[in-house]
Amino acid sequence: MSNRFVLLCFWIQFSFFAPVFAPVVVSQASELSEKFIPAEEARSHSEEVSDWEAQEESADTNVVDPGDFSRLKGYLGEIVIESDGVDSSIWRYEDNFSFSPGFDPKLRLVKKEAHLPYFSSSPWQYERYEATRRLGEIKLTQELNSFSFGTAFRHVDDDFKDPARYQRILKIKNHLRSDQERVDFWAAKKVGLFKVRGFYSRSWDNVAEDPERFQMLDSSGGTRISFKTPEIPLFFSLSYAKNRSESILEPEGLKPRGRIEDSFSGSLYYFAGSAFDVTLSSTYSPGRNSMHPEEQDEIFWHEIRANIRPVWHITITPALSYGDFRYLLHGERTETPSASLSISYSELFDSVDLSFWGAYSETRGTDQYQDDMTVNTAFEINWRPEYDLLPESNIGLKVARGRYIDRVYEDVYDDFSTKLSIRFPF
C-alpha cells in the first residue's frame, strides 16, 4: 500500500499539476469588475456545503481510451475516464489508504479537460480558444467517528466555460470560478443535528501570471454552523469569515491593491429527491481598502437557484441573483441583477444530447457612468453514431450569440460564433 501511495503522489505532481499550469492570456477586467470580485468570493467563503446535502448524479457517460492512465491501473486501482461531449473528457479516481486501524484517509481526484474547437465563425475567437482548458480537484479527507478533517487543491483554467456546471457533475462542493487556484483546510464536528466547521483557504487568480494583469492573493478563515431539520429534508447554515485580499503581481506602473472584509452568510437548502432541489443564499460583506482605510464599502448578494428534473433525462436549472455594491465614502451605489436558465436533454433517441443556456444581466450605477446590459445564449447538440466501424465517435455543433448594450455611450456589441467538432477513435 505504501508503494502505491508514493507512486500516486509522484503521478499527481507530474501528470496532474504540470498540464494545468498551461499559460493563457485574457483581457484585463475593468476597475468596477474588480470591485465586485469580493462579492463572488463572499458567496464561496461558506466553504464546503454540508455533508448532509445530496449531490447531483452525473449523466451517463461512455468510457474512452484511458491513454496514460493505463500504466497506473495496476498500482492505483480503478481510474475512470469518461467522454463528455466532443473532444472532451472527465477523469475520476477514488481510493482509501490504510496506514493504521482507524486512520485510512480517502483520496479523491477529478479532472475535466476540454480541447479547442475545429471551426469557429469568428477568427479572433478561434485563436482565443486554442489552448486546452482544465478544471480539477485533488482532495484528501479523514473521518474519525463524528469528527472529520481534510485538505483540497483546486484549479480552474482561465476562460473555462461554465465551471458551475462541472462543479455539480464532478461533485465539487466549493463554488468555482474561472482563472483560479485554491488550497483549503477544514475540520468539522457533528453534534446531533448540528455541525460546526472551521476553515481556512488561500486562493489566487491570474494563474498564468500575465504581467499585464493584477494577480490577487486571497486568504479567508472562519466558521460555519449547519442544522438539518429532523422531519423534512431542509438544511440551514450560518457562517462568518474574515477575508483579506492583496496583489502579489502588478502591471508595470500600477500601485498595489488590497482589501479587508468581514463576510456574514446564510443559506437555506431544500432537497426533494432527484426531482427537485432549491437553494436560497444571502451574504453581507462590509469591507475597506487596505491601502486607503477611509475607502469603505458594503456588498450585498442574494441568489436563488433550483434544479428541476421532471424525468431522469431532462434537467432545468433556473437562477436569479441580485448584487448591491455601496461605496460609502462618496455615497455611490451599483446594482447587478441577473437571471439565467439552462436546459439539458440527454440521450434523445439513445444517442443525441441537447443543451440550451441563456443569461441576462444588468449593471446600473448611481454615478451615471455605468448602465449596461448583457444577454448571452448558446445551443449545443452532440451525436454519438452507433456504428461498429466508428465506436465512441462523436459529432457536435454549438451555436452561441452574445449582445452587450452600453446605454451611457449608446454602443452595442454583438458576437456570433459556431463550433463544429468531429472526433473518431483513431
Q: How far apart are CA 90 and CA 109, in angstroms?
A: 11
Complete domains list, the chain, with CATH: 2-423 (2.40.160)
- Of 15, 20, 49, 19, the residue nearest 305 (C-alpha): 49
3-state class (DSSP) for residue 102: coil
Q: How far apart are CA 80 and CA 102, in angstroms?
A: 27
At residue 282, φ and ψ (nearest 5 deg) are -140, 145
Q: How far apart are CA 242 and CA 224, in angstroms?
A: 12
CA atoms within 13 A on the CB side of 73: 11
User: What is the rounded average pLDDT of the residues 383-402?
Assistant: 80
Three state DSSP letters for 333-367: EEEEEEEEEEEEEEEECCCEEEEEEEEEEEEEECC
CA angle 404, 405, 411 (to 5 degrees): 110
- Of 219, 207, 140, 151, the residue nearest 177 (C-alpha): 207
Q: Which three cell numbers stand for residue 405?
A: 448594450
Q: Determine the pLDDT at residue 297.
A: 95
Contact 138, 127 (CB under 8 A): no
Give 171 or 313, the one with higher predicted confidence: 313
Q: How far apart are CA 268 and CA 270, in angstroms?
A: 7
Contact 226, 237 (CB under 8 A): yes
Q: Determine the pLDDT at residue 19.
A: 38
Parallel/antiparallel/unpaired status of strands 88-96 and 133-144: unpaired
- Indicate the residue type of 169: I
Q: How confident is the model at residue 266 (pLDDT cuts 50, 70, 90)?
A: very high
pLDDT tens track for 163-212: 776 776 777 776 677 888 999 999 999 998 999 999 999 999 988 888 99
Q: How far apart are CA 229 and CA 245, in angstroms?
A: 36
pLDDT tens track for 85-109: 555 677 788 888 777 777 788 888 8
Q: Does the structure show a pLDDT above 80 at 271?
A: yes
pTM given for the model? 0.65
Query: Could you tell me where the beta strands, DSSP code E, fall in 272-393?
Result: 276-289, 296-308, 314-327, 332-348, 352-365, 371-383
Percent of the chain with pLDDT over 90: 45
Q: Which three cell numbers stand for residue 246?
A: 492583496
Q: Determine the pLDDT at residue 423.
A: 73
